Amino acid sequence: MSITSDELNFLILRYLQESGFQHSAFVFGHESVVINSGVDGSNVPPGALISFIQKGLQYCEIERHVREDGTEIDCEEPFELLAPHI
Amino acid sequence: MSITSDELNFLILRYLQESGFQHSAFVFGHESVVINSGVDGSNVPPGALISFIQKGLQYCEIERHVREDGTEIDCEEPFELLAPHI
Amino acid sequence: MSITSDELNFLILRYLQESGFQHSAFVFGHESVVINSGVDGSNVPPGALISFIQKGLQYCEIERHVREDGTEIDCEEPFELLAPHI
Amino acid sequence: MSITSDELNFLILRYLQESGFQHSAFVFGHESVVINSGVDGSNVPPGALISFIQKGLQYCEIERHVREDGTEIDCEEPFELLAPHI
């Protein structure tokens, strides 16, 4: 279950295109050469990058708040993408 | 636990910079205006984008292979980022 | 009668825009910072860059084919922008 | 003595490279496809674009200040690239 850089770059290119970052998409497509990588994106749904990151964040939150014995740690602090969680 | 587009764009910019995609990083920085967004990235570790996506993929795998009663579904198929899982 | 780099960059930016090189125009506008240079382009006609270069090429051709006493050097060779003229 | 767009684009690409506009050069190289155009630039001297434009500007100045009978029009006004000459 590892991720190749071609796969990751493909997800990013899709995000740039879907978000209207047309200049970035053009440049990244050429610089990453992901267009020629042979990645088959026909089954990748819209918003895939955001969706994976959201699930990744949920995963982190669970990791932080579940004890080894399965009980939950009570926590009122918001869990955020870029800030450390205390 | 939601993700803002500024946060997401910050993670992507970091990835582009860390991966040596200097032209894409320049263009995306200007096009997304993420540089001016006031995101505080001082606590964001290297490789953050990849790490979140990997955890997101793990999350998806667990979702697919654990039944509601907590038992696991046996499955030998590889679980991949861009391909549908049968 | 000297040319500043801001003036030159302005002509190039116009050329990129007029020729449909939208990604290059976006990137060059930011990288050259010509947008903030205060150049007043309101009187610059379309095609200005090409027009100047064509006249520059004509100037070179005249330089090469007119003797100091004003008489013309006979020459059938084509005069080209990028190739040396023999 | 006409100029092709491949030739012009080649001169611009050279200018971008020589002037340190590396991101613009990357993007323009791909967007104009001038790299694949087969233009032979081996004889193009550094600063060629600026040099042509300067000569073009001189040409314009002469056109404006020489009468049909060859006599010169007296003029103290500076002759500039982007401003109309009165």
pLDDT (tens digit, 9 = 90+) per residue, C37-78?
888 888 888 999 999 999 998 888 888 888 888 888 888 777
Q: What is the mean pLDDT of chain C?
A: 88
| Amino acid D33: pLDDT | 93
Which amino acid would we find at residue A66?
A: V
Higher pLDDT, B80 or D52: D52
pLDDT of residue D77 exceeding 70, the answer is: yes
CB A50 within 8 A of CB B50: no
Place of tokens 């767009």: D5
List subunits contacting chain D, requiring 3 or more Cβ pairs under 8 Å: A, B, C
pLDDT of residue D85 exceeding 80, the answer is: no
Q: Two tokens at A8?
A: 């990751």
CA distance B23 to C27: 9
Higher pLDDT, D72 or B6: B6
| Amino acid B16: pLDDT | 98
pLDDT of residue C25 exceeding 70, the answer is: yes
| Amino acid B86: pLDDT | 67
C1/D49 CB distance under 8 A: no
| Amino acid A83: pLDDT | 78
List subunits contacting chain B, requiring 3 or more Cβ pairs under 8 Å: A, C, D
Q: Which of B21, B22, B23, B30 to mutate to test the interface with D (most CBs of D within 10 A)?
A: B23
Helices marked H in chain B: 5-18, 22-32, 48-65
For domain C1-39, which architecture applies? Up-down Bundle (1.20)
CA distance C3 to C81: 20
Asked if B11 has any chain A CB less than 8 Å from its own CB, the reply is: yes
Which amino acid would we find at residue C50?
A: I
CA distance C44 to D41: 29
| Amino acid B1: pLDDT | 60
Proportion of chain D above pLDDT 70, given as a percent: 98
Given 3.10.20.30, 3.90.1150.10, 1.20.960.30, 1.10.10.10, which CATH number is that of D1-40? 1.20.960.30
Asked if C79 has any chain D CB less than 8 Å from its own CB, the reply is: yes
Confidence of residue B54 (pLDDT cuts 50, 70, 90): very high
User: In chain D, which residues have their Cβ closer than 8 Å to the Cβ of C19?
Assistant: 5
| Amino acid A18: pLDDT | 97
CB D54 within 8 A of CB C56: yes
- Chains B, C: CB contacts within 8 A come to 10
CB C23 within 8 A of CB D24: no
Q: Two tokens at B73?
A: 């579904």
Asked if A36 has any chain D CB less than 8 Å from its own CB, the reply is: no
Min Cα–Cα distance to chain B from D32, Å: 16
CA distance D55 to D43: 19
pLDDT of residue A43 exceeding 90, the answer is: no
**Residue in B16, B48, B81 nearest the CB of A7:** B81
Proportion of chain A above pLDDT 70, given as a percent: 98
| Amino acid D81: pLDDT | 77
C11/D51 CB distance under 8 A: no
pLDDT of residue A40 exceeding 90, the answer is: no
Q: What is the mean pLDDT of chain B?
A: 88
pLDDT of residue D23 exceeding 70, the answer is: yes
Strand partners, A72: A66
| Amino acid C30: pLDDT | 96
pLDDT of residue C82 exceeding 80, the answer is: no
User: In chain B, which residues have their Cβ closer than 8 Å to the Cβ of D23?
Assistant: 22-23, 26-27
Higher pLDDT, C69 or D50: D50
Question: What is the arithmetic mean of pLDDT over B59-69?
Answer: 83
Helices marked H in chain C: 5-18, 22-32, 48-65
Rg over alpha carbons for chain C, rounded to the nearest Å, is 17
Place of tokens 């790299």: D35
pLDDT of residue B30 exceeding 90, the answer is: yes
C3/D27 CB distance under 8 A: no
For domain A5-65, which architecture applies? Up-down Bundle (1.20)
pLDDT of residue A84 exceeding 80, the answer is: no
Min Cα–Cα distance to chain B from D28, Å: 12
| Amino acid C1: pLDDT | 60
pLDDT of residue B85 exceeding 80, the answer is: no
Question: What is the arithmetic mean of pLDDT over D45-56?
Answer: 92
User: In chain C, which residues have their Cβ closer than 8 Å to the Cβ of B27?
Assistant: 26-27, 30
Given 3.30.420.340, 1.10.150.20, 1.10.510.10, 1.20.960.30, which CATH number is that of B1-42? 1.20.960.30
Higher pLDDT, A66 or A30: A30
* HSE value, Cβ hemisphere, 13 Å, CA-based, for A31: 28
- Locate the domains of chain D by residue range: 1-40, 47-86
Q: Which of D30, D32, D35 to mutate to test the interface with A (most CBs of A within 10 A)?
A: D30
Query: CB neighbours of A64 closer than 8 A, spacing ≥ 6?
Result: A73, A75, A79, A85
User: In chain C, which residues have their Cβ closer than 8 Å to the Cβ of B31?
Assistant: 26
User: In chain A, which residues have their Cβ closer than 8 Å to the Cβ of C24?
Assistant: none
Q: Two tokens at C51?
A: 């027009």
Query: CB neighbours of D41 closer than 8 A, spacing ≥ 6?
Result: C82, D10, D14
pLDDT of residue D56 exceeding 80, the answer is: yes
| Amino acid D86: pLDDT | 67
D1-6, Cβ contacts within 8 angstroms, sequence gap of 24 or more: D1/C57, D1/C58, D1/C61, D1/C78, D1/C79, D1/C80, D2/C54, D3/C50, D3/C53, D3/C54, D3/C57, D3/C81, D4/C81, D5/C19, D6/D34, D6/D37, D6/D38, D6/D39
Higher pLDDT, A7 or B79: A7
